[in-house]
Amino acid sequence: MMMHGGRSSGNRRSGPREGGPMAAMRKGDRARNFKATMKKLAQYLNAYKGRITVVMIFAIASTVFNIVGPKVLGNATTKLFEGVMAEIAGTGSIDFDYIGRILLTMLILYVTSALFAYLMGWIMAGVSTDIAYRFREEIAAKINRLPLSYFDKTTQGEVLSRITNDVDTVNQTLSQSLTQIITSVITVVGVLVMMFSISWLMTLVALIVIPLSLGVVAFIVKRSQVYFMEQQDYLGHVNGHVEEMFGGHRVMKAFNGEERSIEEFEGYNTTLYSVAWKSQFLSGLMMPIMSFIGNLGYVAVVVVGGYLTVRQTITVGDIQAFIQYVRSFNQPLMQLANISNVLQQTAAAAERVFEFLEEAEEVKETETPVKLEALQGRVEFRDVRFGYDAEKPVIHNLSAEAKPGQKVAIVGPTGAGKTTIVKLLMRFYDVNGGAILVDDHDIRDFTRQDLRRRFGMVLQDTWLYNDTIMENIRYGRPEATDDEVIAAAKAAHVDHFVHTLPEGYGMVINEETTNISQGQMQLLTIARAVLADPRILILDEATSSVDTRTEVLIQQAMDRLMVGRTSFIIAHRLSTIRNADLILVMNEGDIVEQGNHEELLARGGFYAELYNSQFERSEEEVIEDEALLIPID
């Protein structure tokens, strides 16, 4: 069972930033596939085609009622004009009953239109929120299927940006802009029909401005899209930097890194400001320019309309209705122009989400997995070759065997490949060549979940989460009872110090884990492993940052945990693995020596050099430490 994952209380690592600001700038300059992204987004909408169809019906009904309104009002205007002229000529009067009926009809039309618009917005809010929910759910599931190599090269901020900023952008567009697109398109078509029904000549004059409007839209969109994509990219950079600095603020302050941190943040923030300003400025130009062009068309329509009225080709009411239609025609055109700009930003956000969801996943599980009722604990490395980059191997040709119940120590200088061996054992990475066998079965023949359930890990980088001490220990086996948790705590020397805490096992460990000591954190992770009761252990000695007495307690808890289990120990202090059954001495990706402590010292080879250079403590100090040991029952 894996003992780590989620919110870390140890050192946080966000990974490289892919070359810094200039690299990200080049990334933003690359062309994006707008059509393909919107097609994928449309596929998500297919699941809601029933509701979207209802929305379209409501949109059509709402828009039609709005479109009919000016024509009906034009009839009232004509009737009023005729009545006034009849009164002046003394041949009649204004028919207020007729005008009243028309106004009542207008009220019914507009109220019905508003009701349909409300229902349309309510349905689309549900659709967009549900899609955002699905996106976040798929991203969260995807995170667990991604290989560790992805997180080695991607910052936490980049991933967070996709699950927050990018998904929110898509959500807002779908909830607000999609209905506006539908109503705007229907309005344009409907108004165009009504305009032609009044006067084809005035309609053609009004349409002259459309090519000019489309040209302006295309010009602005082409230039603004690049900046919108860079804006989304740099939001991720800013998030990543802030998260990283907040997570490691104590280290940053200890090394007086405030100024460097601010300078780096200023670099990202300045670039974000620049591209955001450019994108918003360009998008802000669209509405006033479109308004200006629309007013030119409006003036032309008024001139032609006046001419036709003088010649009595159309009525005064038709002129009034046509002017309303021209305004109604220009408004959705400007809305579509603005929405097209929003869609560019949405496409950039959606594309980042889809890119993440399409990242290469871990190698698929075998279709016929091995299922063992009981694991003996035999582990064999057979001609293992591996490199994080296949062309640059870090493990060249490693062969070794650990028998059931053996205590195997892995030692060597930094960069020798010790941690890589652990990652291969847990199948965080798959070998490039050779095989790792557990009970004579290739670990690739197990499901990852089943394989990792057989292992327990106690690492130097402890991980506890924001919950009670009881639940942090229970993380090793969620179905365990309170009595079982307490028994594991006693075995790991946790029970004693827990009773000194204000709320005992019910004390909540805060998010920064500052209310317990480093040694207590390590003992809790050992208790978690005791509760999991795995057959194979992976232990990373974590006693370098604790006092001598706590170090002894931790060491004894680990010794108790290893009894009867196959154990792999990444040894940093060679004095702690003198009683190991097998010591694997690694250097530059290969096992250069193996044997027990006495055998390796007798050879006078690489291990003897490491041991003698590190083991500087006097015999009196060793005896003093051993006197602190608590006897194991």
The predicted-structure confidence for 112-168, as pLDDT tens digits, reads as follows 888 888 888 888 888 888 888 888 888 888 888 888 778 877 877 778 878 888 888
Q: Which residues are bridge partners to 594 per DSSP?
A: 584
Give the fold, CATH level 3, of 463-533: Rossmann fold (3.40.50)
Check: CB of residue 264 under 8 Å from CB of residue 234: no
Mean pLDDT within 6-26: 35
Q: Is 421 helix (H, G, I), strand (E, B) or coil?
A: helix
CA distance 557 to 633: 12
Mean pLDDT within 204-208: 81
Mean pLDDT within 221-233: 78
Beta strand pairing status for 407-411 and 395-402?
A: unpaired
Question: What confidence score (pLDDT) does residue 615 get?
Answer: 58
463-533 shares the fold of 375-454+536-633: yes
Question: What confidence score (pLDDT) does residue 434 get?
Answer: 92
Strand locations in 496-604, DSSP E? 536-540, 566-570, 582-587, 590-595
Check: CB of residue 473 under 8 Å from CB of residue 527: yes
Mean pLDDT of the chain: 78
CA distance 192 to 170: 31
Residue 542 has pLDDT above 60, yes or no: no
Residue 310 has pLDDT above 80, yes or no: no
Domain boundaries, the chain: 34-357, 375-454+536-633, 463-533
Question: What confidence score (pLDDT) does residue 219 get?
Answer: 79
Q: Please report the DSSP string for 204-270 in residue order.
A: HHHHTHHHHHHHHHHHHHHHHHHHHHHHHHHHHHHHHHHHHHHHTHHHHHHTT-HHHHHHHHHHHHH
CA distance 103 to 99: 6
CA distance 40 to 23: 27
CATH placement of domain 34-357: 1.20.1560.10
Question: What confidence score (pLDDT) does residue 14 get?
Answer: 36
Residue-wise pLDDT tens digits, 467-503: 888 998 998 888 889 999 999 888 888 888 888 888 8
Question: What confidence score (pLDDT) does residue 235 get?
Answer: 81
Residue 359 has pLDDT above 80, yes or no: yes
Contacts of 107 (CB under 8 A, 6+ apart): none
Confidence class for position 8, pLDDT limits 50, 70, 90: very low
Q: What are 318's two structure tokens?
A: 């038709």
Residue-wise pLDDT tens digits, 263-287: 888 888 888 888 888 888 887 887 7
CA contacts within 13 A on the Cβ side of 384: 30
Q: Which residues are bridge partners to 585 per DSSP?
A: 411, 593
CATH 3.40.1030.10 holds for 375-454+536-633? no
Mean pLDDT within 335-357: 80
Q: What are 375's two structure tokens?
A: 């694991």
Please state which of the ranges 191-200, 264-273, 535-544 shows the lowest mean pLDDT.
535-544
Question: What confidence score (pLDDT) does residue 544 get?
Answer: 54
Q: Which of 231-235, 288-292, 496-500 has the highest mean pLDDT?
A: 496-500
CA distance 505 to 368: 42
Residue 619 has pLDDT above 60, yes or no: no
Which residue's entry shows tokens 């493990």? 395
Please state which of the ranges 118-127, 221-230, 430-439, 584-593 shows the lowest mean pLDDT.
221-230
At residue 143's C-alpha, the angle toward residues 140 and 148, to 5°, is: 165
CA distance 189 to 191: 6
Rounded to 10°, the helix 20-29/209-247 angle is 150
The three state secondary structure string of 251-317 is HHHHCCCHHHHHHHHHHHHHHHHHHHHHHHHHHHHHHHHHHHHHHHHHHHHHHHHHHHHHCCCCCHH
